[in-house]
Structure 1
Amino acid sequence: MSTKYSLHAIRQKYKETHPGVTDTIDFTVKDEEKARVYHIEHPLLQSNRTKEAVTAAKTDIDMAKAVLGDQWNDFIADGGQVADVMLLMNEIGEQMESTTPDGVPTQR
């Protein structure tokens, strides 16, 4: 007899055991109180559409466009820099590698 898994339940359990992991990551370009908030999907929880765009990306600009999607033009108009998106993605990656689900630091 095979085991039946609920992918929804697995996703929810992962988010519960990793408190810093949410469906989206919010950020601003500017530090102003009324700065526009941009949203990107967490790399582990990206939609198929975003994953396909990220996989097809050949440059950092392509990657930033892939994760920002329809927000790209507003991001650029707001003074956003692709390098900052890459730094954000790097920061997220480091956070994902920094601890195990029970909070124990990983080896680097």
Structure 2
Amino acid sequence: MTDNKKRKVRSLKAVKAKYLESHPKIREWIEFTIDDEPDAKEFRIHAPIFQTNEEKKAFAKAQESDDQFDLAKALLGAQWDDFIEAGGQISLLFLLLDDAADEVHETDSEGNPTTL
């Protein structure tokens, strides 16, 4: 029989907070605008590591279609129509994701890639 006093129960919320604190370069949200205008609408998507279950399901389903429009719609969710109306380009959205991924990679002393 397990002694509940000895068993450590961990909070997923606390795990997430600790991860974000110990990895300051990794952010929960990727925030962006279409252009540099002062009144530009701001969009945001979860960094892949922090996607919700619903976001992960939508993205996995979109990957099956192998269609970049479906992938972008899955990433943006309810923001999709505003993104298109503002002149958003999906190729630039994926370039942004690549750039965000590069921010969390560094190299060790021998030049090998590492992930923060």
The residue aligned with 1:64 is 72
Separation in 1 of the partners of 2:35 and 2:106?
A: 27
Give the structure with the larger strand fraction: 2
Given the superposition, is the C-alpha separation of residues 28 and 106 from structure 1 closer, same or farther in structure 2, using an over 3 Å criterion? farther
Give ranges in structure 1 of 5+ residues lacking alignment. Answer: none
Tell me how far apart the structure 1 counterparts of residues 38 and 110 of structure 2 sit (CA, whole Å). 34
Sequence identity (%): 36
> How many pairs does the alignment contain?
105
* TM-score of the two chains, using structure 2 as the length reference: 0.79
Flag the structure with more relative contact order, 1 or 2, with Cα contacts below 8 A and sequence separation at least 6.
2
* Pick aligned residue for 2:18 from 8, 13, 24: 13
Structure 1 position 5, deviation (Å): 2.1
Aligned Cα root-mean-square deviation (Å): 2.2
Structure 2: runs of 5 or more not aligned = 1-5
Q: When the two structures are superposed, what TM-score results if normalisation uses the length of structure 1?
A: 0.85
- Cα distance 1:105–1:64, how it changes in 2: closer, same or farther (>3 A)? farther
Q: Deviations over 1:11-63 (max 9, x none)?
A: 00110011132322110001101100001111110111111111111221111
Larger radius of gyration: 2
Residue 102 of structure 2, aligned match among 83, 94, 100: 94
